[in-house]
Amino acid sequence: MKVGDKIKIDFAGKKKEATVDKVFLKTVYLKVDFDKDKQKTVKRKLNQIDGGKSKKK
């Protein structure tokens, strides 16, 4: 997983498309478009995204 990658995440029971903004060892910051808030930053743990398989390169 690298900065700029587009991924799908679960948010409130729905699948949202997100763009990776920052990647740390255990945390990922994502930019997500919501109806009333465009490009909102959402913080997720890396193991919530993909089980912790991808590491920072």
pLDDT digits (tens, 9 = 90+) for 1-49: 899 999 998 888 888 899 999 999 999 999 999 889 999 999 999 888 8
Q: Residue 57 falls within a domain, yes or no?
A: no
**Which pLDDT does position 20 carry in this prediction?**
95
Q: Assess whether pLDDT exceeds 70 at residue 51.
A: no
Count CB atoms within 10 A of the CB of residue 47.
Answer: 11
Given the structure tokens 């890396």, which residue do they identify? 46
Q: What is the pLDDT of residue 56?
A: 55
pLDDT of amino acid 49 = 82
- Number of domains the chain contains: 1
Q: What is the pTM of this model?
A: 0.78
Domain range for 35 is 6-50
| 29 part of a folded domain | yes
Residue 17 lies in a domain: yes
Nearby residues of 31 by Cβ (< 8 Å), 6 or more positions away: 18, 19, 21, 39, 40, 41, 42
Residue 36's region, left for phi above 0, alpha for psi from -120 to 50, else beta, is alpha
- Taking the C-alpha atoms of residue 44 and residue 26, their distance in angstroms, rounded to an integer, is 9
- Residue that the structure tokens 């919501």 belong to: 34
Whole-number pLDDT of residue 11: 85
Domain annotation covers residue 1:
no
